[in-house]
Amino acid sequence: MASKLTLDGGIALVTGAASGIGKETALAFAEAGTQGVVFADINEEDAKVVAEESRKYAKHAGYRALAVKVDLTDAESVQSLVATTVKEFGRIDYAVNSAGIDLENYGSFTPALNLDVFSKVSDTNIAGTVRFVRAVTGAMAQQEPLTFAGTSRHGSRSVGRGSIVLLGSTSSLIGAPGMISYTTAKHAVIGIMKSAAVDALALGSAIRVNAVCPGWVDTPMVQSAIEQNPVLKHAIDNITPLKRAATVDEVADYIIFLSSPSASFINGTALPIDAGFTLPAPPPLPRA
């Protein structure tokens, strides 16, 4: 983690914490100074390994790590995850939903779309996100707001009852050929984020909800997609402005920022992390 942002305490809950962006984010929370981190994943054994690893980076003297199995397709499993977190730590200050399933339908154009795969992706990446946000906002609304010491110039700052960050994608913002399942799901994440943010404002619950929208990131999920479709690596290197995929820590840095007191006035925002990939193509420069 390159960021120097500090979280003086607080409890973080991260899904998809056994690998990829979720793993890096959960470790970054430990390194940023949270008092506890819950590593949630459908692969509980790998989550336990990462939770144990986090102790090497933890900055808080009373740091605790807990691994919990969760299945986002099961509402009771998600609710149990949140209840376990509150029981063990008393509250949830930072919640990140990084769990999702891979690009199984990558390269499938609409006429050849496998509807069973589409439904599977939707249940995890869309309905699963709703289950997560529903459970977490319910728990956060019951807790007292968190206040940070702030600076000597401005004093303490309230950061509300909690921050939720959802994992979107550049596919939340634009379309791409052969990616209807993934693009649909990631567009939906932004709708869920904005709706949850507006609902929190309407209810006066002082909960911020945002999303990060990374482009291609060097994760096990992307590596698996490249193995299935080797041309994907060539595409990533050629269409990404920096000619490479982002690293997981580059994404985690922004998630920590959005969760931190530094982002206390940011709400309902989808933050691109794409090196300018979603910018309009510049016009050709005139030749001399």
Select which of 69, 186, 243, 254 is catalytic: 186
Select which of 182, 233, 243, 254 is catalytic: 182
**Rounded CA gap, 113 and 101, in Å?**
17
Neighbouring-strand partners of residue 164: 95, 209
Let me know if 59 is a catalytic residue.
Answer: no
User: Rounded to the nearest 5°, which phi and psi values hold at 207?
Assistant: -120, 130
Let me know if 23 is a catalytic residue.
Answer: no
Annotated catalytic sites, by residue?
182, 186
